[in-house]
Amino acid sequence: MSENAGSRNPLQLRDQPETCRTADAEERSAWQRVIGRFADNCRARSLFVLHYCTGCGAIELPPTITSRFDMERVGVSPMVTPRQADILLITGYVALKTLKRVILSYEQMQAPKYVIGFGSCTINGGMYWNSYATIKQLDQYIPTDLFIAGCMPRPEAVQEVFLELMRMIDAGKANAWRDYYRNYDHYLANQQALFGPQWHTPTDIVAEAKHYGLMGPGTTGPHTRLLDQHAEWALDRIPEDYPERGENERSER
């Protein structure tokens, strides 16, 4: 037994999709559907919003969170880390520099995750329709579940959109996040159009899609193929004098 364990390459585990994979819809038994339904129900009642405010909409969040409108009574509260958050609330215009961080945060969040575009700026550029520094349509870069119209929307509108999101989650309809896996190539193409062909993030979306059985017709394509090249380029770019682990040990001796 010990021999077996020793010879097994731990990396090979990842190539066996059967060992750990979320079942496809057809494969799900009635029992699993019941559990899924129950999970959706619970999920809708405990939502955490990532505490990242991109634009001017940030000023209406303190009133929404604090005593007057108090979003905690509908079961939504702020969360400081992306990995524990469910909702990414994009509060207004997104400058290019911010968009990079938004995409990084979005990819770090664990599915199921929901994106809400807050204010006209996320819908069509709003006030900044002719600005050279902001993006115009948020859903070209990350899939968005809901938008709030207005410049700037009132706290009541923010609460209403949370309630609407809960209804959607409860009914199993808030599935925009699946689209990111199914059509990753489309989103990546738009991101690369902005940031150049060198753009890539530390998260391996294609591998995740494979792992969770979320591959779709648009997951891979010409743009994701560029990513594979980057992996090789990145290896080339490590400076010559970068100490290998072995070297370090030797120099210490």
Q: Which is nearer to ligand SF4, 93 or 181 (CB)?
A: 93
Out of 121, 135, 169, 209, the residue judged to bind ligand SF4 by CB under 6 A:
121
Strand, helix or coil for residue 79: strand
Task: Pick what 202 binds: another protein, ligand SF4, none; C-beta below 5 to 8 Å, kind-dependent.
Answer: another protein
Q: Is residue 152 a contact point for ligand SF4 (CB under 6 A)?
A: yes
Residue 119, phi-psi category: left (phi > 0), alpha (psi -120 to 50), beta (remainder): left
Look-up of token digits 């996320």? 122
Give how far the C-alpha of residue 159 lies from the chain's centroid of Cα atoms, to the nearest Å.
Answer: 22
Smallest separation, CB 115 to ligand SF4 (Å): 16
Smallest separation, CB 38 to ligand SF4 (Å): 37
* Cross-sheet strand order for the sheet of 47-50: 76-79, 47-50, 87-91, 114-118, 146-148
Phi, psi of 77, rounded to the nearest 5 degrees? -145, 160
Q: Are 170 and 36 in contact (CB under 8 A)?
A: no
Among positions 65-94, residues that touch ligand SF4 (CB under 6 A) are 92-93
Q: Which is nearer to ligand SF4, 57 or 82 (CB)?
A: 57
Query: How does DSSP classify residue 158?
Result: H
Task: Pick what 119 binds: ligand SF4, another protein, none; C-beta below 5 to 8 Å, kind-dependent.
Answer: ligand SF4
Q: Which is nearer to ligand SF4, 44 or 116 (CB)?
A: 116
Task: Pick what 238 binds: another protein, ligand SF4, none; C-beta below 5 to 8 Å, kind-dependent.
Answer: another protein
Q: Is residue 149 a contact point for ligand SF4 (CB under 6 A)?
A: no
Distance CA 97, CA 226 (A): 22
Distance CA 168, CA 173 (A): 5
Out of 47, 50, 57, 181, the residue judged to bind ligand SF4 by CB under 6 A:
57
Q: Which is nearer to ligand SF4, 122 or 220 (CB)?
A: 122
Distance CA 60, CA 176 (A): 25
Compute how many other C-beta atoms are within 10 angstroms of the C-beta atom of residue 34. Answer: 11
Task: Pick what 117 binds: ligand SF4, another protein, none; C-beta below 5 to 8 Å, kind-dependent.
Answer: none
Q: Is residue 117 a contact point for ligand SF4 (CB under 6 A)?
A: no
Binding site for ligand SF4 (CB under 6 A): 55-57, 92-93, 119-121, 126-127, 151-152
